[in-house]
Every structure is written in structure tokens, then in C-alpha cells.
Chains A and B, each alone.
Chain A
Amino acid sequence: MTALQEKPKAVAPNGPPPRRRGKRATALAGTDKLVLALMLGVPTVVHLLFVWIPTLGSVALSFSEWNGIGGFEDIEWIGVGNYVEIFTEYPRFWPAVQHNLIWLLFLLVVPTSAGLLLAVLLDRELRFSRIYQSALYMPMVLSLALVGFIWQLIYTPDGGLLNSVLGLDKPVDWIGDSDINLYAVLVAAAWRHTGYIMLLYLAGLKSVDPALKEAAALDGASASQTFFRVTFPVMKPVNIVVAVVTVIEALRAFDIVYVINKGRNGLELLSVLVTDNIIGEASRIGRGSAVAVILLTISLGVIIPYLYQVFSKENRT
């Protein structure tokens, strides 16, 4: 439970006082300072070099025309041309946006409510609770690529589980039909996502002060009133985490559609449009980077509020 409790307010740090300009911090010896600088500096440099510099690189390259093979002197700077092209001409862009949006909505509705429901059901004294939880968590440890493989055995038109169970006269091609394959894949993705949401909500429910529920019950609130008016609002931090996790998951979606059909024929996603420029058919680094920047912008839209929520508590102390 420790994780969910308020952290002990960091009293005036007992560590050395903040360094002041021009004045040596007396508490730390020279070697100690050097060691500490290395301990913080090396990981930061690694992180900046391989994560943030490439991110800025994507932003820069999105204003260029380049095939990625030649040297940097082949880069042609074309301003916002890539963005204009993406929004007006690029045929795969809007379908991809639509698919990502459906992906997000589906994840926000189906696994989230299923996970919440299961968490509520399991958050009580219950026999076999641990066994139930283990079974529900299990898909979480599988990679999305593997989930794609395993579900193909269910969806395949000849001898797949689903068609056999439904016993239709005309077998449905769940993966090949571009009208339904997105939803078929989403069911598989949701299968894996539900356990995670359940885990988050179970932790959230356990952190709710039982006294609140008791007080509500004493005031004559019904079980469902207590849940929707008291418990759920109190879990706001968990709700935010669930929202962030889901948005990021929807933006990152890639592996599962790639193993199924490399993200074509109804399974186009923004992530596929980016990756195609390196390992696929297209090699237009500029246009791919512009799509990456669009992904970046959307993700920053949830990352920044999340950081604000998490770290604002600290700023105040």
C-alpha cells in the first residue's frame, strides 16, 4: 500500500543545501561532488542522446525532403511542404488517423469498463480471488506481436476457432476483410489491455479510505451511489493514469498490425506510416518524420498534463 499513500512530506532537505552561485557547497567533498555529477550526468547524457536528440531530429527532418540513404548534404529543406502534403494529398494519412482514433475510443470504452468492473468485483473478501487475478493478468505478459499470432489461430477463415464456433455457412475472413479487421484486431488488443486496467483499478480501490464508504452507507447511500458518487471520484489519480496509459498505448499500437499484415488493407496506423519509411516500401524520411511529429504533438497533449499532475505536489513542498 505504501505506493498509494501520501509520501511523507519532504521536510527541509537534510542533504547539503542547494548550491549557491560562486560559493562552494561545504557539505560535499570534491570527489563526492565528482562522483555525484557522474552518477547523474552519465545516465542523463545517454537518455538525451538516444531519446530526446532523435525526437528533435524528427522535428527538424519533418521540414525536409530526404531519402535517408544519402549524406546530409542531400537534405533539401522545404518548409512545411510535408505537412501540407500529408493533410491534403497523402491517401493513407486520414484513414490512419481514423484508425488510431477508433483504437483509442475502443480501448477507452471496452477494456477500461471491463477492467473497472472486474476490479470492483474482485475488491472484496473472495475465495479463489488470487486464481482469478492470475488468469486475468496472464495476457499482459505476452508481447503484442505474439498476441497477433495467437489470435490469428482464432480468426483464420479455414479452421479458426471463431468461425467454427459460429458455424456460419459462409466463413468470415476476420483478418482479410478491411471493413471488420480493425475491430477483430482491437478485440485481441483489448484482451491484453484489460488485465492492466484491472490491476490499476484494483490498486486504486484498495487505496480508497474505507471510512468514506462507511460514511456514505451511514448516510443511506446505496452501493451504486457510493461507488459513482464517492469511490470513483476519489480515484481521480488512477483515472488519470488509466487515461494516459490508454492514449499512449493507442498511439504506440504497431506490433500487432505489423505481424498480421504489415499495417495495410484496413489496418493502417500512424505508427506504420512512420516505420514504413525505414523498413517498408516508402523511403521519404521527411514525410515520415512529419507524421512522427504529429504523433509527438498528440502525445505531449497527454504527457504534459500528466507530468503537471504528478509533479505539482512536489513543487509545492
Chain B
Amino acid sequence: MTATLERPSVPAKKTRPVTPARIALHVFLILTCLMTLAPLLWAVYASLRTYDDTSVNGYFSIAKSLTFDNFAKAWEIGDLPHFYWNTFLITVPALIITLVLSSMVAFGVSRFSFKFNIALLMLFTAGNLLPQQVIVTPLWRLYRLIELPVWMSESESLIDSPLGVILIHIAFQMGFCTFVLSNYMKTIPYELTEAARVDGASVFRQYWQLTLPLCRPVLAALATLEFTWIYNDFLWALVLIQDGDKMPVTSALQNLKGTFFTDNNLIAAGSLLVALPTLVVFFVLQRQFVGGLTLGSTKG
């Protein structure tokens, strides 16, 4: 897995002559990177300034003073902890169940041979590629039909319930995870599970105790990716949750805009706070993030 990320670096010749071409290349790359980071840096800069400062001097000016007040204010006015909690309630279960279910399918289709193996994999892969709008209308209607006891959903249906959003995330994201996991599992030698089976290990033990531990690196990569994707989801929650208080933080942004009114400094601070979890994940787990995307796009 990790091998996907870095080419084994050949200890190159010790001294590489500094050619003009090299310097030009670095200058170009540095400029491109700065341009890429500019929108984020601009948001950071705006978020650190006071409303009085920017309303008098405009945004394109040297700051008189820098402060974290906007972050505290956005946190409080936007009631962000509440929305982070909503997101947490959706993301964590959805993530875990997606990985469990898709690893089961991947195990089944990669370790055993059925006639419908490829058809099943194609079904999952195709499902993951559909635009969400193709599904959303009947799903919304279906969710209103399904009645649930109060202990499962306060709204007594799948609409307005974290459970509903969790379910569609699982169903939809399973496609990608199954595809990646089955490709990876196919590279595990058959002899391994074969030997376990001869020793009398049940199918479940072959899956849980033998195959899954070997898949740890892919599971880590998928968990990283799925965390960002589910966290970043906007549409599902927007449509399936109508009570603004129950929305996860990404979909709640829309309402926060109204709360923050026209104070761009607050909007900048709020946006950065919402971006923070994914940025942290990116900085800490960049390897997994990149590796997961690489695996998903290529065929093992």
C-alpha cells in the first residue's frame, strides 16, 4: 500500500549541478503552490481581522491588529459544537459499517468463486458512480414512507433522522470500498485461506482473523477517504434532513451564512472552522489519503 505513494528513491548522484532549468522549474512550482494556497491564506487573513478594521480600510489592506475573536464568535453564534456533534453521529457509524459490509462483500467475491462474482462487483462499482440526483427523489419519498419506533428516530421516519443519512452513506459508499478492497484481497495468496480452511477455520474466521488484518493498510486508507467524503457530504443531509437543527456541519453552512449575515470576517472564520477537521486529517494522514485515491483509480 504505502509503496503506492513513493517511488523507491534511488540514491542519486550526490551533487546535481544547479542548472537554470532546475531553478525555473522550482520558481514555477513555488508560484503555482502559492496560487493554490492563496484562497485559503486569504480566508485565514480575513478571519484574523476585526470587522471595524476591514469596514474602514477594506479587506485589501495591511491589518491594524490580528485577533482570534472571530473564531470564538463564529463558534458561539454558529453553535458549531452542536453541528460538529451531529456530523460525528453520522460520520462514525457510517464509516465503520461501510468498511465492515464492503470488506465482507470483497472477501466473498475475491476468495470464493461464484458465477455472479463479476456481476456483483459491477453492480457495486456502477452504483457508486451514479450521480446522487438520480437516486434522491424516490429515496426522499421512500424515507417518508418507512415508519420507525421513536427509540430509533425521533421523527418516527427516516426523514429528519441521522439514521437515514447513515444508511444512504453506507449504501452509496460501499461501492467504492468494495471495489478497492476486492482488488487488494485478490493480491493475497490463495494458499493462505486455503491452508486455514484445511485446518478447519470457519469462513468467518478466515475473514475476520486472517484476511482483515492483512488489509489493515487499505482499510486505513479507505477510512481516511471515507471520513473526508462523509464529512464533506452536502446533498444527502440537505435533502433528507429538513430540520435545520439536525443537520451535519457541512450542510448547516447554508444556514450559518444567514446567521453571520454579511460579516465576511465571521464567514471566513466559520468556514475555516468547518474545514479544520478535514485539514487535520489531510496533514496527519496524507499518505493514506493519497494512497486510497490512487488505489481506487487503478486496477490491481
From A118, A131, A150, A258, give the contact of B40 (CB < 8 A): A150
B293 engages A144 (CB within 8 Å): no
Question: Counting CB contacts under 8 A, is B14 at the interface?
Answer: no
Question: Counting CB contacts under 8 A, is A288 at the interface?
Answer: yes
Chain B proximity mask over A111-142: 1 for CB below 8 Å, otherwise 0: 00000001001100111100110111111011
B239 engages A39 (CB within 8 Å): no
B113 engages A4 (CB within 8 Å): no
**Chain A: interface residue total (CB-CB under 8 A):** 122
- Separation of A152 and B207 alpha carbons in the complex (Å): 49
Question: Counting CB contacts under 8 A, is B120 at the interface?
Answer: yes
Contacts of A310 in B (CB 8 A): 125, 299
Contacts of B278 in A (CB 8 A): 141-143
Question: Counting CB contacts under 8 A, is B212 at the interface?
Answer: no
What is the chain A residue whose CB lies nearest that of B6?
A130
Contacts of A145 in B (CB 8 A): 232, 234, 250-251, 253-254
Interface residues of B in 174-191 (CB under 8 A from A): 174-175, 178, 183, 186-187, 190-191
**Chain B: interface residue total (CB-CB under 8 A):** 116
Contacts of A131 in B (CB 8 A): 33
Contacts of A165 in B (CB 8 A): 60
Question: Counting CB contacts under 8 A, is B222 at the interface?
Answer: no
Question: Counting CB contacts under 8 A, is B214 at the interface?
Answer: no
A2 engages B4 (CB within 8 Å): yes
A51 engages B235 (CB within 8 Å): no
What is the chain B residue whose CB lies nearest that of A164?
B60
A121 engages B29 (CB within 8 Å): yes
Q: Choose, from B64-72, B78-86, B148-156, B263-271, the stretch at the interface.
A: B263-271
Tell me what chain B mostly uses at the interface: helix, strand, loop, or mixed. helix
- Separation of A7 and B184 alpha carbons in the complex (Å): 9
A160 engages B59 (CB within 8 Å): yes
Residues of A within 8 A of B (CB): 1-5, 7-8, 10-11, 13-19, 27-29, 31-32, 35-36, 39-40, 42-44, 46-55, 57-58, 61, 68, 118, 121-122, 125-128, 131-132, 134-139, 141-146, 149-154, 156, 159-161, 164-165, 188, 191, 194-196, 199-200, 203, 206-207, 237-238, 241, 244-245, 248, 251-252, 254-255, 258-259, 270-271, 274-275, 277-279, 285, 288-289, 291-293, 295-296, 299, 303-304, 306-307, 310-311, 313-315
Residues of B within 8 A of A (CB): 1, 3-4, 7, 9-10, 12, 16, 25-26, 28-30, 32-33, 36-40, 42-43, 46, 54, 58-60, 101-102, 104-105, 107-109, 111-115, 118, 120-127, 129-142, 167-168, 170-172, 174-175, 178, 183, 186-187, 190-191, 193-194, 197, 202-204, 207, 228, 231-235, 238-239, 242, 250-251, 253-254, 257, 264, 267-268, 271, 274-275, 278-279, 281-282, 286, 289-290, 293-295, 297-300
Given contacts A121-B29, A188-B39, 9 further A-B contacts (CB under 8 A): A32-B202, A47-B171, A54-B139, A139-B39, A141-B278, A141-B281, A146-B250, A159-B54, A194-B36
Contacts A/B (CB < 8 Å), 10 sampled: A16-B113, A36-B203, A44-B105, A138-B40, A149-B271, A150-B43, A154-B39, A188-B39, A278-B140, A307-B122
